[in-house]
Amino acid sequence: MEPRPDNPRPVQSFLQRWAVTALGVMAADFICPGIKILDLTGALIAPLVLGLLNAFLRPLMLLLSLPLLILTLGFFLWVINALLLMLTSSFAGEHFHVDGFWWAMAGAAIISIVSILSNLFLGGGATFTFNKPPRRPKVKDDDDDNGPVIDV
């Protein structure tokens, strides 16, 4: 993995994102009785699988569901996150389990909230910068604006 100019430390960035996702998955396990991390392997594998699915499958799902995302003003994103969490459960095998769609919806909400709060404190995630347009130099006007206006 070659460092890009906008990301000089890709390994540190990956580990931070993985740790934030792991924290979110563990919080979902703690809060939701329908989401279970069964062992340490599940605590390590589930965030990794979820991160890979978010990196590769999520963009395709977003593209295919674009009309629904627009129609629901983005709330369908929650359903996509729940489906990815259920898919993570099926890939992780006996180490991580989600009982059903509604538990996946609750878990997706918890993971999203924990990720937002963690990235807020750690400085990760998307950053937005607003640049003001440069001021135009004031053009010196030779007209004194005191004379009459002549329209022809």
Residue 125: pLDDT band (50, 70, 90) is low
| Out of 24-28, 38-42, 117-121, 144-148, least confident range | 144-148
13's tokens: 């960035």
Structural domain contains residue 93: yes
CA separation for the pair 23, 2 (Å, rounded): 27
**Number of separate domains in the chain:** 1
Cβ atoms of residues 111 and 81 within 8 Å: yes
For 47, the domain range is 10-122
pLDDT the model gives residue 133: 80
Taking the C-alpha atoms of residue 97 and residue 104, their distance in angstroms, rounded to an integer, is: 10
Residue 139 — pLDDT band, cuts 50, 70, 90?
A: low
**pLDDT-derived band at 123, boundaries 50, 70, 90:** confident
Rounded Cα–Cα distance for residues 37 and 30 (Å)? 9
88 within some domain: yes
144 or 95, higher pLDDT: 95
Residue 137: per-residue pLDDT: 76
Asked if the structure places residue 142 within a domain, the reply is: no
State the residue for tokens 């006007």: 141
Side-chain-side CA neighbours of 87 within 13 Å: the count stands at 17
Identify whether 133 is part of a domain: no
Cα gap 63→5, rounded to integer Å: 27
Out of 1-15, 56-70, 97-111, pick the least confident: 1-15
Instruction: Quote the CA–CA distance of 119 and 60 in Å, as a whole number.
Output: 24
pLDDT in tens, 30-77: 999 999 999 999 999 999 999 999 999 999 999 999 999 999 999 999
In this predicted structure, what is the pLDDT of residue 1?
Answer: 47
Residue 54 lies in a domain: yes
Q: Is residue 86 domain-resident?
A: yes
Does any domain span residue 148? no
Contacts of 17 (CB under 8 A, 6+ apart): 51, 124
